[in-house]
Amino acid sequence: MKPWLVRGLGLALIHVVVRVLLGAALIQWPLQGSVLRWFAFVVVVLAALIWAGIDGIRDRRAHPDPEQQDDLTMRWLTAGAVTGLLGGVLTWLVDTVTPIPVGVTTLFFEVTSGAAFTVLLVFLPATAAATAGRFFAGRQERKDRRNADDSADPDRVPATVGAGPDTDSAWRNDDAPTEVFPAVDPKAPREG
């Protein structure tokens, strides 16, 4: 099964379940509608954030070269479209068949305006999370590589914490040349 289809179906299921639970909760607690709607919004956004963040981390670990990475933008855009369309149709179907009022107006609204909102609700956080996942995985790779290089160099001596101006690095090489230019002797004869 295609990765975008798995994500789209999973998030459509989450979207429908959240909307059905929201409809049932609004019947039980009608005065808490705004809080319940915000909670439902956060649940759907968090699902997209977490899933896309994991995608970004996995992709960066599988393809360290940025030229070889998968196109997560199109994957999540397509998944958002599947989520919006399928979630809208299923929510309309639940509202039509069951006695739970989900708050659907018409099928046309659910597959146009409602679907467009759901696409953005999935796509924007997912893109940000995939980018952040790639960034943090790449950062961890660089840190691990730096630590491996430092431990492989036997001439390097560990620096003591707070020992001086070079405490920004974890290792210090006391034999490193510090002279950038040779010293100038003012009494030496000039060349040229």
> Which tens digits make up the pLDDT trace of 58-85?
998 888 887 788 889 999 999 999 999 9
Using only C-alpha atoms, what is the Rg of the chain? 28
Residue 92 binned pLDDT confidence (cut-offs 50, 70, 90): very high
- Please report the pLDDT score of residue 180 as a whole number: 76
Residue 164 binned pLDDT confidence (cut-offs 50, 70, 90): low
* pTM of the entire predicted model: 0.71
Selection from 75, 79, 77, 76 nearest residue 87 by Cα = 79
Please answer whether residues 75 and 55 qualify as being in contact, where contact means their C-beta atoms are separated by less than 8 angstroms: yes
pLDDT at 162 over 70: no
pLDDT at 25 over 60: yes
What are 118-161's pLDDT values in tens digits? 999 999 999 999 999 999 888 887 887 778 776 766 555 555 54
Selection from 18, 11, 53, 12 nearest residue 39 by Cα = 18
Residue 99 binned pLDDT confidence (cut-offs 50, 70, 90): confident
Q: Could you state, in order of their start, the residue ranges of all structural domains in the chain? A: 3-28+35-151
- Please report the pLDDT score of residue 177 as a whole number: 67
pLDDT at 170 over 70: no
DSSP β-bridge partners for residue 171? 158
Please answer whether residues 135 and 72 qualify as being in contact, where contact means their C-beta atoms are separated by less than 8 angstroms: no
Selection from 78, 80, 66, 50 nearest residue 135 by Cα = 66
- Please report the pLDDT score of residue 7 as a whole number: 95
Least confident of 54-68, 81-95, 152-166, 167-181: 152-166
Please state, in angstroms and rounded to a whole number, the distance separating the CA atoms of residues 36 and 24.
Answer: 11
Question: What percent of the chain lies above the pLDDT cut of 70?
Answer: 85
Least confident of 23-32, 40-49, 95-104: 95-104
pLDDT at 57 over 70: yes
* Cβ neighbour number for residue 122 with a 10 Å cutoff: 32
- Please report the pLDDT score of residue 120 as a whole number: 95
pLDDT at 50 over 90: yes
Please state, in angstroms and rounded to a whole number, the distance separating the CA atoms of residues 171 and 32.
Answer: 57
